Chains A and B, each alone.
Chain A
Amino acid sequence: MTHYLMAVHGPAEMNEFGNYGSREEMEEAFAATGAFNDKLRAEGYWVFAGGLEPVSTATVVDGQGESPVLTDGPYLETKEVLGGFWVIDAPDLDVALRLAAEGSRACRGKVEVRPFQGLA
């Protein structure tokens, strides 16, 4: 089994309904994502998942120098940012891609699939 990160990318700018068009759309996506999470747990792929607060809450820490340098905001200023992610445990890439397609449909966002080198 391999651990995969399924990262959901979405727009940096959000409205009152997150990055969804309306309250109904947001609630539908939340419900579909909840159902998908239940399925991941039931089928044994679940490791961890979570949505992230808006990118405006990010702080970048550079601890490479003598004392850490803190910078308000995301590391890269882009229009598309990481909005949330799953970590799953799947036997191979075909399974991970199939689950990513389901997750993408549920949360209504594009999902990037990347294998972990291994989990600590």
Chain B
Amino acid sequence: MQGEKAAVERVFREEYGRLIASLVRRFGDIDLAEDAAGEALVAALEKWPTSGVPPNPGGWLTTVAGNRVIDRIRRENQRDAKHRAALMNHDDTPHEPTGPVEDDRLRLVFTCCHPALAPEARIALTLRLLGGLTVPEIAQAFLVPTTTMAQRITRAKQKIAAAKVPYRVPTAADLPERLGAVLAVLFLIFNEGYLATGDGDPVRGELTGEAIRQTRVLRQLLPTEPEVSGLLALMLLIEARREARVRHGQLVPLGEQDRAGWDRALITEGHALVRECLAINRPGRYQILAAINAVHTDAPTASDTDWSQVVALYDQLMRLDPSPIVALNRAVAVAEVDGPEVGLALVDRLPLTGYHAWHATRADLLRRLRRSAEAAQAYDAAIAATQNSAERAYLARKRGELVRAGDGSACPESS
């Protein structure tokens, strides 16, 4: 019985985004759509364990949920004739298995990631309405109390309804910018799973998996947008290294990872997407980041990495996005080509003193330059600037090795 319930819930989550999107299109009300979807789940939990999962479970859920909404509106219509008028304003075309259904999810993505909503609300709504995650699950993933997350989602939904945030795919003129906001939300969800900011689990596979699943859907819906393919490739090539990235609770940096532990299927898929992007030849931020990750995952060993290619790609990225974070990553690659001294000179210029990766990069370059006292201070600063347990463990080990390596007398002992 427990297994059957889990199976129904798995199908339900798989179909949730499609179901909600279709109901929102037909009835123009997110709360109504969510209530009806919940009632359809209850009906499925009653029916499917005895009658079996129907051949088109998404269609079944949509029909049941749609009927529940219509029943409810009919009941309310008897009290209030205005509702009938409201219903007639909405698109009441029935559920279809292809075409428009895909458009429904695409519209909902743009509603959830609308720039008039706060970024954390966009992330929460995307996970709730398109991913089908429950509010407690989202709250746990972002380490905030459930009530806080529930308020955040409720407020965002109220704003969508009251301010009339539209439910449609933006016009071609607005698409690049609005698509950028959607991709940013998906990448933030992925990153939170990949390198969690809090002190809980260092890696959250459910978030990286959900971000990849939604980016795959987005790619089906917008197959000619190379940045969507680029983002999917980037996620796959990072996800491929997930198992090798943490060992005994410690972060393992790229150069020290056991490459036999990388997921070859994901790498093959990611490389094919990068080649597809190159052929389209409309480069963008995510495509370039994916290409950089393709260079890394192409190298049989760390010392085989084509670092000059990595530098060239970061040069290209700097022209699109001249941010200090990109400059920091470029400096890491430059240090591999021109030596740690050149890399350190680039790093020291960047205004990133509050960023853990800046301190960690400085620490590593200072270590390689045998400036141990300064390296130890930089490791301390990096440890203080991150909450991620695996990263802290790694940095503490590197700092410890520094002391044992010799001129530890010059190292100020940290507490």
Asked if A43 is at the interface of the complex by the 8 Å CB criterion, the answer is no
- Given A93-B116, A97-B116, A115:B162 Cβ within 8 A: yes
Decide yes or no whether A92 CB sits under 8 A from chain B: yes
Binary contact track B144-170/A, C-beta < 8 Å → 1, others 0: 000000000000000000111110001
Taking the complex as formed, is A2 at the interface, i.e. its CB lies under 8 A from any CB of chain B?
A: yes
Q: Determine whether A24 belongs to the interface, using a CB cutoff of 8 Å to chain B.
A: no
Main secondary structure of the interface of A (DSSP, over half): mixed
Write out, one digit per residue, whether chain A residues 78-120 have a CB within 8 A of any chain B CB (1) or not (0).
0000000000000111101100000000000000011101000
For chain A, which range describes its interface: under 10, 10 to 19, 20 to 34, or 35 or more residues? Answer: 10 to 19
Q: Please tell me which one of the listed residues A94, A113, A114, A115 contacts residue B166 in the complex, with CB atoms under 8 A apart.
A: A94
| Chain B residues closer than 8 Å to A113, beta-carbon distance | 163
Task: Write the nearest CB–CB distance from A86 to chain B, whole angstroms.
Answer: 16
| Chain B residues with CB below 8 A from A94, complex form | 165-166, 170, 174
Q: Kindly state the separation between the CA atoms of A90 and B72 in the bound complex, as whole angstroms.
A: 30
Within 8 A of B (CB), among A44-64: none
Nearest A residue to B114 via CB reads: A93
CA–CA, A97 to B165, complex, Å? 10
For the complex, what is the distance from the CA of A94 to the CA of B110, rounded to whole Å? Answer: 12
Query: B270 to nearest A CB, angstroms?
Result: 35
- For the complex, give the distance between the alpha carbons of A113 and B166 in Å: 15
Could you tell me which residues of chain A, from 8 to 23, have a CB within 8 Å of some CB in chain B?
none
Q: Contact string, B12-53, partner A, CB cutoff 8 A, digits 1/0? A: 000000000000000000000000000000000000000000
Residue in chain B with minimal CB distance to A95: B166
Measured CA separation A93–B160 after assembly (Å): 9
**For residue B116, which residues in chain A have a CB less than 8 angstroms away from its CB?**
93, 97
Q: Return the CB mask of B95-115 against A: 1 if under 8 Å, else 0.
A: 000000000000000000010
Determine the chain A residues whose CB is within 8 A of the CB of B163 once the complex forms. 2, 4, 93, 96, 113-115
In contact, B162 and A92 (Cβ under 8 angstroms): no
Min Cβ gap B89→A in Å is 12
B162 / chain A contacts, CB cutoff of 8 Å: 115, 117
- Chain B residue nearest to A2 (CB atoms) is B164
Q: How far is the CB of A101 from chain B (nearest CB, A)?
A: 12
Question: Which B residues touch A117, using CB under 8 A?
Answer: 162
A7 to chain B, nearest CB (A): 14
Inter-chain CA distance A117–B166, complex, in Å, is: 17
Task: Output the least CB separation between B31 and chain A (Å).
Answer: 17
CB distance from A6 to the nearest CB of B (A): 12
Residues in B with CB closer than 8 Å to A93 are 114, 116, 163-166
Complex interface: chain A residues within 8 A of B170 (CB): 94
Which residue of chain A is the closest to B178 with respect to CB atoms?
A: A94
Choose from A4, A91, A92, A114 the contact partner of B165 (Cβ within 8 Å). A92
CB distance from A106 to the nearest CB of B (A): 21
Contact with A along B169-181 (1 / 0, CB 8 A): 0100010000000
Of B114, B164, B174, which contacts A115 at CB under 8 A? B164
Please report the C-alpha to C-alpha distance between residue A94 and residue B165 in the assembled complex, in whole angstroms.
7
Bound together, the chains give a CA A4 to CA B164 distance in angstroms of: 10
Residues of B within 8 A of A2 (CB): 163-164
Chain A residues, Cβ within 8 Å of B166: 92-94
Residues of A within 8 A of B165 (CB): 92-94
Question: CB-CB < 8 A to B114: which residues of A?
Answer: 93
Of B116, B162, B163, chain A has the most CB atoms within 10 Å of the CB of: B163
Supply 14 A–B pairs (Cβ within 8 Å), ascending by A: A2-B163, A4-B163, A92-B166, A93-B114, A93-B116, A93-B166, A94-B174, A96-B163, A97-B116, A113-B163, A114-B163, A115-B163, A115-B164, A117-B162
Apart from A93-B165, A94-B165, A115-B164, 4 more pairs, CB < 8 Å: A92-B164, A92-B166, A93-B164, A94-B166
The 7 A-B pairs of least Cβ separation, nearest first, read A92-B166, A92-B164, A115-B163, A93-B163, A2-B164, A93-B165, A115-B162
